[in-house]
Structure 1
Amino acid sequence: MGAVLVPYDPAWPDAFRRVAAELRTQGNPNWIVEHIGSTSIPGMSAKPIIDVAVLIADEEDLDRHLPALDTVGWRLGSGVRSHQVMVFEEDGVRTRIAHFFEASGWDEVNQRILRDWLLQNPEDAELYERAKHVAVDASRMGEESYNAGKTAVIQLLVDRARAARGLPAVSVYDKD
């Protein structure tokens, strides 16, 4: 089954708070956890998966807490190359994704930069939402994957957002 977008759910902010609390309880209580992804943008349709960015001191900080996170159902795994990712599934359906970033790169995390840009630029949020729907349709037709279908628009928006912050453009594609 391909990607499925659902209308914005006003329960997503509360779901995020529960995810953040769980990560801090099972992980490090000092972790900063932020809501990212489309579920963090009020009014935007999204895959019903809560994405979070977690600020960790370093890889050892995460490694120390992996057993406790694993105990409650979090699993390491993703095709992402630049940082560690854990996923959580309920009844075989992915419901949460945690992206772990070290402090040295926190201010340049594209997911955070894109979220902030979309919150501040409604026209670009609309552009992104349209691109997501086109990508879903293309993936259903077997033309390309959902992620591949929206990458060009994400690249455009992240480039704009990074330029506004005085940061250089970087590729947003980060998967094996």
Structure 2
Amino acid sequence: MATFAEITRHHDPDPDENPWVHRPPAPAPVRIVPYDPDWPRRYRDLAARIRTALGPAALDLEHVGSTSVAGLAAKDVIDIDLTVADPRAEHTYVPPLERLGYVLTIREPSFHEHRCLTLAEPRVNLHVYGPDCPEAIRHRLFRDWLRTHPDDRERYQKAKLAAVPGGGTVMDYNARKQQTIRDIYDRMFRAAGML
């Protein structure tokens, strides 16, 4: 079971680790669109296909990220957290997901053994973690906080929109909104008595 200290710690991957399984994607402009009420249905359809493909290897699936928060503008990409027994055992989940069209793009041993598979259509980032992973817990807590705290949801949306004009990669965009995210995490953790 993850401790409060593990959950509240901002953990970054090893900067010397090359996470790309093949090569980094070409820079593409980040486009934020208004909330789409179809996103939850899209997630349910994707999750059903993943569960069918993986069977008992899929311990849990969660719709996370901005598309999981009603009313929040987002990139038109569904983020899903998949929990498996051991992300390092790629043979247990990657081949069935590849048959669905997913491509293993990121492998980050230094970041909770995180793996990310992408789907081109519809666009999906499928994040793979092990049981009780602090990062997956953080994703769920952040989603649920934004769903119930409209002021922080609005603050986060403004930060996202302000981060777009800088250009560069998605990682550059993420870096520009990171301080707002960490400020919200701090409020959330303090409200939950975790700090």
Q: TM over 0.5: same fold? A: yes
State which of 16, 39, 42 in structure 2 corresponds to 1:12.
39
Normalising by structure 1, we get a TM-score of 0.82
Q: Specify the alignment match of 1:51 in structure 2.
A: 79
- Give structure 1 stretches of 5+ with no counterpart: 169-176
Q: Specify the alignment match of 2:189 in structure 1.
A: 162
- Mapped to 2, the partners of 1:37 and 1:21 lie a distance apart of 19
| Paired residue secondary structure (2:125) | strand
5 Å-filtered alignment, 1:107-118, equals 109-118=137-146
Aligned-residue CA RMSD (Å):
2.4
Cα distance 1:34–1:3, how it changes in 2: closer, same or farther (>3 A)? same
Please list the CA deviations of residues 66-100 of structure 1 after superposition, one character each: whole Å capped at 9, or x if unmatched. 1111112111123753312111113xxx7001112
Cα distance 1:61–1:165, how it changes in 2: closer, same or farther (>3 A)? farther
Q: Which amino acid aligns with 1:13?
A: P
Q: Which amino acid aligns with 1:149?
A: R
Between 1 and 2, higher relative CO (CA 8 Å, sep ≥ 6) is seen in 2
5 Å-filtered alignment, 1:124-139, equals 124-139=152-167
- Mapped to 1, the partners of 2:192 and 2:105 lie a distance apart of 31
What percentage of residue pairs aligned between the two structures are identical?
Answer: 34
Q: Is residue 2:33 matched to residue 1:2?
A: no
- Give structure 2 stretches of 5+ with no counterpart: 1-27
Q: Specify the alignment match of 1:86 in structure 2.
A: 117
5 Å-filtered alignment, 1:96-111, equals 96-105=124-133, 109-111=137-139
Q: Specify the alignment match of 1:147 in structure 2.
A: 174
| Paired residue secondary structure (1:104) | coil
Normalising by structure 2, we get a TM-score of 0.74
Cα distance 1:107–1:139, how it changes in 2: closer, same or farther (>3 A)? closer
The number of residue pairs the alignment matches comes to: 163
Contact 2:67 2:74 in 1 (8 A): yes
Contact 1:24 1:31 in 2 (8 A): no
Contact 1:56 1:62 in 2 (8 A): no
Q: Specify the alignment match of 1:122 in structure 2.
A: 150
Task: Tell me which stretches of 4 or more aligned residues in structure 1 moved more than 4 Å.
Answer: none
- Mapped to 2, the partners of 1:6 and 1:162 lie a distance apart of 29
- Mapped to 2, the partners of 1:108 and 1:99 lie a distance apart of 9
